[in-house]
Structure 1
Amino acid sequence: MGEKTEDFITYNYYDVHIYYLDMPCSVASNVVENPDGSFTLYLNSRMTHERNIKGYLHEVKHLKNDDLNNCCNVQKTESTVRET
């Protein structure tokens, strides 16, 4: 993988670590929950600043919707997040 940089923020009681990673162009962003209850949000370093903002906001919607703890279809979840 390429260069990795990190930012750390607190978003509405969520501790979120943000990493910029060199990922495939088909992946704009991703979020995962860490064992300590914080979250790691990955943004693709190949994307533009504007696209990373959209990716960040998209992943934050997943946090707000508690999607990481819901056992539902990934495509349905993605569709729901895109609609809001």
Structure 2
Amino acid sequence: MREHPSEIAQALSELMERRKMSANALSRASGVANGYIYDLLSGKKGEQIGLHVLRRLAQGLQVKTSYLVHRIEKISSERTHATNRRA
């Protein structure tokens, strides 16, 4: 497993926490398989996630797809900046 959760895992976890939503509830709301959501949250999957999956997850979380993508990109940017500062 990774040292830090993936950007997707972090973004999903934050939004799920805000909505007090479990992985099972997100699976039901989005139509994305429960096991796939757990793999995303654990970092086992997510490097090559499709836009159709992001759309379904965003719908299940009741946010726009663009918001979810922006949140993932922001987390990635923050990590890049933090890494560059340490170097």
TM normalised by structure 1 equals 0.31
User: Greater relative contact order (Cα 8 A, min sep 6): structure 1 or 2?
Assistant: 2
Q: Which protein has the bigger helix share?
A: 2
